[in-house]
Amino acid sequence: MTSTNGFSDSQESDLLGEEEYKTLVKDIGFVPTPWIQKLDPAIPIKEEFPGRYNFQVSLGNLDSSKNWVYSQVLKKVFINMEETLPLRFKWEPPEDGLLLRTAMVFSLDQYASDPVRRCHNHMAPNIPSNRDVLPRVIKHVVRCTHHLTLYEERNEHLSIVTPLNRPQPGSQYVPVCFKFLCKNSCPSGMNRRPTELIFTLEDSNRRILGRQRLPVRICSCPKRDKKKEEAEVSQPDVKKRKVCIPAGKKMMPSCDTHIYNAQLNIVGKENYLAVLKYAYDIMAGQAIRTGQLDFFKPYLDNILRKTP
């Protein structure tokens, strides 16, 4: 699985230690049977299930700084590297002593078994942001701002465990913040492969009580990339490589092609003609802006015909 940039897309290097394997099997052993899909310990399970605690994750407040955005259509977060993503976790009843495990995995099945780790560039110990970071933490792409978070490694795969205390009185959820220390594009790291966060609610014995997922893209231009990905799903059949793209620019939504029938009583012929002309002009403007002159032409001509 080596792509053309020469960096292996697979990052694993070691086999799972026996001890860890036992631990893992033990953990999974407690998962209710229907949720056990694959026993290959190298492939993380991504199936969502709220479980008996009705485990849920939602987004925290979007501060106006907008270092991240959320796409409602894609159910996906787009965020800058090293910025904070505020999330909220909920479980019922809100008892104490539970744990939140957070792991980042590759979204595409073909890479599912690859561990997600930081790239060599960003792990280099001499860069300033790695100053004073523990070696066991430095290789994690995902960090949690909660200071009791544990950074774990099982079989090259990394995850972090944050202790959960019941929500503050009057609150329904617990806020937890995350940061991401590499970009999805990092060569020798995630290498342009999409990822998602897998959250599991666990008890103190690491039994899995619920699981949720949240696709995340860490990039330099979250807004731009969100727009592009949304455009892709909205026009799925357009061939990937188009020969030419007619640029649609703003000033007005370009997609609304519903036809409305306006019936108006206008005072004065001058005004009447002005309305006709205006209707013509705004549609002409949109036609040019969106490059859809062909579509608009008959409606324009129709107005012209009413003009004395």
Partner DNA sequence: GCACATGTTCAAGTACATGTCG
Partner DNA sequence: CGACATGTACTTGAACATGTGC
Annotated binding-site residue numbers for Zn(2+): 119, 122, 182, 186
6 touches DNA (CB under 7 A): yes
**Chain positions contacting Zn ion, by CB under 5 A:** 119, 122, 182, 186, 189
Q: Which stretch binds DNA (CB under 7 A): 61-69, 155-163, 165-173, 200-208?
A: 61-69
Least distance CB 17 / its own copies (angstroms): 19
**Is 192 or 207 the residue whose CB approaches DNA more closely?**
192
List 41, 94, 175, 187, residue binding DNA (CB under 7 A):
187
SS3 state of residue 50 = coil
Closest CA to 166 of 221, 108, 91: 91
8 binds its own copies (CB under 8 A): yes
Could you tell me how many residues of this chain bind DNA (CB under 7 A)? 29
The pattern of x and - marking residues 279 through 308 that bind its own copies according to CB under 8 A reads xxxxxxxxxxx---x-xxxxxxxxxxxxx-
Residue 192 binds to DNA (criterion: CB under 7 A): yes
Q: Which stretch binds DNA (CB under 7 A): 40-48, 59-67, 93-101, 283-291?
A: 59-67
Q: Which of residues 62-91 bind DNA (CB under 7 A)?
A: 64-66
Query: 198: helix, coil or strand?
Result: strand
Binding residues for DNA restricted to 233-262, rule: CB under 7 A: 240-245, 250
Could you say which of 25, 59, 124, 221 contacts its own copies (CB under 8 A)? 124
> Sheet harboring 174-180: ordered strands across?
56-59, 84-90, 174-180, 142-144
- Partner from Zn ion, DNA, its own copies, none contacting 182, C-beta within 5 to 8 A by type: Zn ion
What's the N-to-C CA distance of the chain in angstroms? Answer: 70
Q: In angstroms, rounded to a whole number, what is the distance separating the alpha carbons of residues 29 and 269?
A: 82
In 3D, which of 36, 37, 43, 38 has the Cα closest to residue 16?
A: 43
Q: Are 159 and 152 in contact (CB under 8 A)?
A: yes
Paired tokens of 41: 């310990």
How far apart, in whole angstroms, are the C-alpha atoms of residue 131 and residue 63?
Answer: 28
Give the one entry of DNA, Zn ion, its own copies, none that residue 77 binds, where binding means its C-beta sits below a cut-off of 5 to 8 angstroms depending on kind.
none
Q: Is 184 a residue that touches DNA (CB under 7 A)?
A: yes
Query: What is the C-alpha to C-alpha distance for residues 260 and 198, in angstroms, rounded to an integer?
Result: 46
* CA gap 229, 299 in Å, rounded: 32
Compute how many other C-beta atoms are within 10 angstroms of the C-beta atom of residue 113.
19
* Site residues, DNA (CB under 7 A): 3-7, 64-66, 183-185, 187, 192, 219-221, 223-225, 228, 240-245, 250, 306, 308
